[in-house]
Amino acid sequence: MKIVRTQSINAIPSTAAPVFPAVGPAKPRAVRKGPGGADTAFLGILMLETRFPRPPGDIGHPDSFPVPTRRRIVGGATAGKVVRAAAGLATSGLLGDFIVAARGLENDGALALTTSCGFLVLFQRELQDAVRVPMVTSSLVLLPALLEQDRQVGVLTISAASLGPEHLAAAGVPGNRTGDVIIEGMDPGGEFVSAILGDRPQMDAARAGSEAVAAAQSLKRRAPRLRTLVLECTNLPPFAAQIEQATGLRTLSLLQCETLLRPFARNP
């Protein structure tokens, strides 16, 4: 299936190995037929307007999900406009554009919908109300179920300064459990944040991976009994294997979201 407007990978060469570690093998899934009767059903992804690299595991890479995908870029929705505190995103004027894009993908045959930025969880209710298919705006939506299993759950985010209680509430985290969500941010002055929020066409993958591991290790020191780490940023899954190997934590992202993948399983 053709992927709509995906960016190519353009990482700075590095002697460190491996860079942009590949995600694990996808589980084979039978795909339901689309509205026209052909195998055209797909997972629709609402993309920010960006130019930074999209390595395997990143939500913008065509092979990151084990199901067909199609992407629609929401013009003007840059990372700088979306990765903000709740008040800033609420006044951005972007909600209507995301609703139009979501309905367009649904009309084209999407069986489920998601987005390329975890901060869009603030639009979860409005976007789900606007479409008939499942909509999961952010991996943060995984938190309520995880908190039913674990005393604490970690979150690794691109911006700890911007991710607030409003985002957790929009994800469905009960007010009396917000303190059990342990948040760690990536280094604000590091390679990863500079490349993503600065929308650079290149990224030093080895440095970015080391920063992700360091942030996860810092989180583990703060919460030694932590078992699970949710990757808020959809650009962090390329480093999930490195994080797991260094910390022993289980990492979760939208790539493992059953709500998004379930519609593609053939009914028995």
Instruction: Give the rounded distance of the alpha carbon of 205 from its chain centre.
Output: 18
Give the model's confidence band at 96: pLDDT under 50 very low, under 70 low, under 90 confident, else very high: very high
Q: What pLDDT sits at residue 266?
A: 64
Check whether 82 has a pLDDT greater than 80: yes
Reported as a single tens digit per residue, the pLDDT across 224-264 is 999 999 999 999 999 999 999 999 999 999 999 999 999 99
The pLDDT tens digits for 169-189 are 999 999 999 999 999 999 999
Q: Report the C-alpha gap between 21 and 85 in whole angstroms.
A: 31
pLDDT at 12: 29
In the predicted structure, residue 41 carries a pLDDT above the cut 50: yes
CA 83 to chain centre: 12
Mean pLDDT: which of 3-12, 18-27, 64-73, 257-266 is highest?
A: 64-73
Confidence bin at 39 (pLDDT 50/70/90): low
- Size of the chain in residues: 268
pTM metric for this prediction? 0.85
2: pLDDT strictly greater than 80: no
Distance between CA atoms of 173 and 183, rounded to whole angstroms?
14
Q: DSSP secondary structure string, 242-261?
A: HHHHHH-PEEE-GGG-HHHH
pLDDT at 27: 40
Instruction: For each of the domains in the chain, give its residue range(s) and CATH number, in order of start.
Output: 140-253 (3.40.50.1860)
Using CA atoms, how far residue 28 sits from 25, 67, 109, 174, 257, in Å, is 9, 9, 21, 35, 15
What pLDDT sits at residue 17? Answer: 30
Predicted confidence (pLDDT) per residue in 150-171, tens digit: 999 999 999 999 999 999 999 9
18 cis-preceded (ω within 30 degrees of 0) = yes
**Which residue is associated with the tokens 């299936």?**
1
